[in-house]
Homo-oligomer: A and B are copies of this chain.
Amino acid sequence: MTGWSKAKTAQDIRDLVEKGFLMEAGEGISQGGRKPRLLCINRNLGFVVGVDIGATSVDVALADISGSVLQRYSEPADVRQRPEPFLGRCVEIILHLMELQGCRADQILGIGIGVPGPVDFARGVLVAPPLMPDWENFSIRGFVKESFPNAFVVVDNDVNIMALGEQRAGDGINVDHFIFVKIGTGIGAGIVSNGKIHRGSTGCAGDIGHICVDKNGPICRCGNTGCLEAMAAGPAIAEKAMQAALNGSSLLLKNLMNQNGGVLRPEDVNTACREGDQAALEIIRASGQMIGDVLAGLVNFFNPSHIFIGGGIANFGNHLLVSIRRAVLRRSLPLATTHLSINFSRMGPDAGVTGAVALALEYLFVIEDQPTTTI
Residues of A within 8 A of B (CB): 1-4, 118, 120, 127-128, 176-177, 189, 191, 193-194, 196, 198-208, 210-212, 222, 224, 293-294, 296-298, 300-305, 330-336, 338-340
Q: How many copies does the complex hold?
A: 2
A212 lies within 8 A of B3 (CB): no
Bound complex: CA A305 to CA B203 (Å): 11
A199-B303, A200-B303, A201-B177 known; A333 vs B194 contact (CB < 8 Å): no
Q: Are the CB atoms of A200 and B177 closer together than 8 Å?
A: yes
Contact A201 B298 (CB under 8 A): no
Q: Are A200 and B3 in contact (CB under 8 A)?
A: no
Q: Least Cβ distance of A160 to chain B in Å? A: 12
B residues less than 8 Å from A118 (CB atoms): 333, 335
**B202 with A303: CB separation less than 8 A:** yes
Pick the 6 closest A-B CB pairs, nearest first: A200-B303, A3-B3, A201-B305, A205-B303, A211-B297, A193-B193
User: Chain B's nearest CB lies how many Å from the CB of A6?
Assistant: 11
Q: List 5 A-B contacts (CB under 8 A).
A: A128-B333, A128-B334, A177-B205, A210-B332, A297-B297
> Whole-angstrom distance between the alpha carbons of A297 and B229 in the complex?
13
Report the minimum CB–CB distance from A275 to chain B (whole Å): 32
Residues from chain B with a CB closer than 8 A to the CB of A203 are 303
Q: Which of A196, A298, A300 has the most CB of B within 10 A?
A: A300
Q: Do A333 and B210 touch (CB < 8 A)? A: yes
Tell me if A300 and B201 are in contact (CB < 8 A): no
Q: List residues of chain B with CB within 8 A of the CB of A303.
A: 199-207
Task: Tell whether A196 pairs with B194 under 8 Å between CB atoms, given A3-B1, A207-B300.
Answer: yes
Known interface pairs A128-B333, A207-B333, A331-B224. Does A304 touch B193 (Cβ–Cβ under 8 Å)?
A: no
Contact A202 B301 (CB under 8 A): no
| Cα–Cα distance between A128 and B298 once the two chains are bound (Å) | 19
Question: Could you say which residues of chain B place their CB within 8 Å of the CB of A330?
Answer: 224
Residues of B within 8 A of A199 (CB): 303
Closest chain B CB from A187 CB (angstroms) = 11
